[in-house]
Every structure is written in structure tokens, then in C-alpha cells.
Amino acid sequence: MASTLNLHNNGWHAGCQTEVHTGNNANADLNPSLGVQNVADGAFWPIQMTANVQWRRERDQGQPTGQWTVWTEQTYNLDGQVYDVNL
């Protein structure tokens, strides 16, 4: 049973630019990209997990500088759980 990862924006009023990759390579940049989305304040990006999921967000929301946070990872599990994470 697939798990779901929900990436929540709970406070970035201008939205939260978030990049997501999925795969099992330890270097997230080498894994396939699911793209970049601006997650609105109070919204979330649901991701059906078929592999490990890595994500990062712009460091300075609302004042984009092109700098990103370090990658964060959720390990893939076949437990059917819903994982809720704040960006």
C-alpha cells in the first residue's frame, strides 16, 4: 500500500516555493524531479510515495534570492501512512 507525503505551508503568506525529487539516490539532484510549486499559505502539496521523497524550499520566501534550503528526505514505506510535514 502506497504512502502519502503532504508538504504543508503553514505561515509563508506569499507562498512557499518548493522543489521535490523522488528516488533512492543519496544525491537528491540526481533523482527525477516532480517540479517546483508555489504552495499557497494554508495549502499543501500531496505526493504519492513510490520511492524516497526529497524536498527543499527557497530560503527567503517572498524575497527570492535563488538560494535553497538543504534537501530533506522522507524514506519510502509500504505502510499506507500519511506523513504531514511543515515546510
Structural domains present in the chain:
3-86 (2.60.40)
Run of H or E residues at 8: strand 3-8
Average pLDDT over residues 21-50: 95
pLDDT at 15 over 80: yes
- H or E segment and range at residue 47: strand 44-49
Distance CA 5, CA 18 (A): 14
The predicted-structure confidence for 25-39, as pLDDT tens digits, reads as follows 999 999 999 999 999
pLDDT at 43 over 90: yes
Output 78 or 73, whichever has higher pLDDT. 73
Whether 61 shows a pLDDT value over 80: the answer reads no
Mean pLDDT computed over every residue of the chain: 92
CA angle 35, 38, 42 (to 5 degrees): 130
Model confidence pTM above 0.95: no
